[in-house]
Amino acid sequence: MSKKTRILPKHVALIPDGNRRWSRNHRLALLQGYNLGIKKFVDFSEWLRQFGVDTLSVWALSTENVINRNAAELKVLYDLYVKAANDPEIIARLIKNRARIRIIGNLSLLPEGVRKALKSLEARTRNYRDYTINMLVAYGGRDDITYALRRIAATKAHSPSRISEKLVSENLRSSSVPNVDMVIRTSGEERISGLLPWQAGYSELYFARKYWPDFQKKDLKRALDTFSKRRRRFGK
């Protein structure tokens, strides 16, 4: 009797939560926690690729983070994003994996230097097609849908009866992001907090108790094993 084929998600979305709490628990500066979190994400992206997943979306910074977090903490994050976007080792690993970076969000909320660094990274990887990493920066699910509705309304070319799911989808900030098969969130929090609401409606959800810096390849394998055992019905 043949072994049952293992089913894997094509698109995984990640909420890498728990950097601040990990830093406090280890009595380390916030910078160290976030820096380790970025390094862990690069590892995670490679693990996911090794398992056969071809699209990863990561929620790096929400619109709520930009609005509600203090300036000092945001500066730590912004400086790390600029550093990571220009890091030769990170760039080399992306190129080795033929990974294309897409930056998605309300980038007008970011300082100009951060925008330029992220868009530069996006440009340097634009010709790769083997693996796509969507970085959600200054992204919010409600903002995404509101943005789409405003764009549609601004054209004045669509009567209410002609507004379709396809039209809304085409006008999202995240219009290039495909449907999400699986959402992974770390730190024990069991919510998706507005992550890609249009694409994640039928996602399988997996909540890991570990803080993000402690998440390991074996934890990802456990999550993917869980996904392979679920039966996806899509309303049927």
Question: What torsion, rounded to 10 degrees, do the Cα atoms 102, 91, 42, 31 define?
Answer: -100
pLDDT of the residue at 4: 52
Report pLDDT digits (tens) over 105-140. Answer: 999 999 999 999 999 999 999 999 999 999 999 999
Give the pLDDT band of residue 203 (cuts 50, 70, 90): very high
Report pLDDT digits (tens) over 206-228. Answer: 999 999 999 999 999 999 999 99
Question: What H or E segment, with its residue span, contains residue 24?
Answer: helix 19-25
pLDDT of the residue at 236: 67
pLDDT of the residue at 156: 67
Note the pTM of the prediction, 2 decimals: 0.93
Q: What is the mean pLDDT of the chain?
A: 93
Tell me: pLDDT of 3 over 50: no
What Å distances lie between residue 68 and 31, 74, 130, 165, CA to CA? 18, 10, 36, 32
The answer to whether residue 174 is domain-embedded is: no
The answer to whether residue 29 is domain-embedded is: yes
Give the pLDDT band of residue 232 (cuts 50, 70, 90): confident
Task: Domain count for the chain, please give it.
Answer: 1
DSSP string over 78-100: HHHHHHHHT-HHHHHHHHHTTEE
Question: What torsion, rounded to 10 degrees, do the Cα atoms 103, 106, 107, 109 define?
Answer: -150
Identity (one letter) of the amino acid at 181? D
| Cα(105)–Cα(173) distance, integer angstroms | 6
The answer to whether residue 58 is domain-embedded is: yes
Structural domain boundaries enclosing 127: 11-140+181-229
The answer to whether residue 3 is domain-embedded is: no
Q: Nearest Cα to 22, choosing from 1, 47, 40?
A: 40
Report pLDDT digits (tens) over 170-197. Answer: 999 999 999 999 999 999 999 999 999 9
pLDDT of the residue at 158: 63
The answer to whether residue 187 is domain-embedded is: yes
Which residues are marked as active site?
17, 65
The answer to whether residue 18 is domain-embedded is: yes
Contacts of 153 (CB under 8 A, 6+ apart): none
Backbone dihedral region of 65: left (phi > 0), alpha (psi from -120 to 50 degrees) or beta?
A: alpha
The answer to whether residue 154 is domain-embedded is: no
Report pLDDT digits (tens) over 72-117. Answer: 999 999 999 999 999 999 999 999 999 999 999 999 999 999 999 9
pLDDT of the residue at 100: 97
The answer to whether residue 1 is domain-embedded is: no
CATH code, domain carrying 195: 3.40.1180.10
